[in-house]
Amino acid sequence: MADFLQQVVAGLASGSIYAALALALVLIHRATGVINFAQGEMATLSTYIAWTLTTNHGWGYWPAFAFTLAVSFLGGAGVHQAIIRPNEKGSLLRVVIVTIGLLIFVNGLVTLIWGGEVRAVQSPFPAGTTEIAGVAITTADIGTIAVVLATVAALWALFQYTKLGLAMRAAAVNPAEARLVGVRVTWMLSLGWGLAAALGAVAGMLAAPSVFLDPNLMAALLIYAFAAAVLGGIDSPVGAVVGGLTLGVGLNLIGTYVDFVGADLRLPVALLVILVVLLVKPTGIFGKAEVRRV
């Protein structure tokens, strides 16, 4: 039983990382109707920036974390203004292809600057375990879950309680109407891209200590995040978080207790989740069916 609970908590920790990246995908999809395929690579770039600051410039982990969040936010907003916005007039497919181009570009850029070798990243959390109700939980897992939950709570408060957050929601659900009440919709979309990039950075920086840092850090994580977002409902922020945690726990339990899956076949299981959800309930757990008036 203790072993089972340990696996659940470990699943929650990796699941919270999926949730952060899934939430980034959902934020952008809600606002613009496209999946940002470069979300993972942008997060990889952010993670390298944090890594460089801590290993080469002697920064502490948390100052580097905060600085990277700020840079990622500005970078995300800048990408929207400079690259996405000029391509928004026209079909959505065009924007999707632009994000795929961005994925390849950022991946190349990271390899060019930092090289392809695999680097170890120090965990910000002390090694060791804490015993809670007879279950030994690693400090890193607790820390990871706490950081993601705090990030999600901060975002939720922004959207729920501030004028800016309300304007961002309005711009996402009904841009034409939002402009009529004076909301500068394009700015709101840029802000959304910035927040998504910052969320991705959180996911990348938390994931790096356990999976090592290389230019393809986020390739698999992005697929887990897709699965989480699809599972929860691609337009539902709550769904992204619940989907991420569910997927994390589920994959960890399957990996541990189903022999033939092990650690290596988790990725195909995530792909299977995407496939099954899209076949059985395309709107996900929390999604609403889109009604189009013709």
- Residues of the shown chain interacting with another protein in the complex, contacts defined by CB under 8 A: 163, 166-167, 169-170, 173-174, 176-185
Cβ of residue 165: shortest distance to another protein, in angstroms? 10
Distance CA 202, CA 222 (A): 13
119 DSSP β-pair partners: 213
Nearer to another protein among residue 176 and residue 280 (C-beta): 176
Who's near 229: CB < 8 A, 6+ residues apart? 22, 25, 26, 29, 239, 240, 243, 284
Distance CA 236, CA 32 (A): 14
Place of tokens 């181009």: 101
Q: Following DSSP, what letter does each residue of 78-119 receive, concatenated?
A: HHIIIIIGGG-SS-HHHHHHHHHHHHHHHHHHHHHHH-S--B
Q: How many CB atoms lie within 10 A of CB 153?
A: 10
Cβ of residue 170: shortest distance to another protein, in angstroms? 5
Nearer to another protein among residue 67 and residue 187 (C-beta): 187
Cβ of residue 177: shortest distance to another protein, in angstroms? 6
Cβ of residue 131: shortest distance to another protein, in angstroms? 43
Nearer to another protein among residue 94 and residue 184 (C-beta): 184
DSSP-assigned letter for residue 119: B
Nearer to another protein among residue 85 and residue 179 (C-beta): 179
Cβ of residue 288: shortest distance to another protein, in angstroms? 9
Name the residue type at position 246: T
Nearer to another protein among residue 30 and residue 266 (C-beta): 30
What Rg value do the Cα atoms of the chain yield, rounded? 19
Nearer to another protein among residue 57 and residue 163 (C-beta): 163
Candidates 168, 144, 108; CA nearest to 21 is: 144
Cβ of residue 167: shortest distance to another protein, in angstroms? 6
Q: Which two tokens stand for residue 113?
A: 């600057």
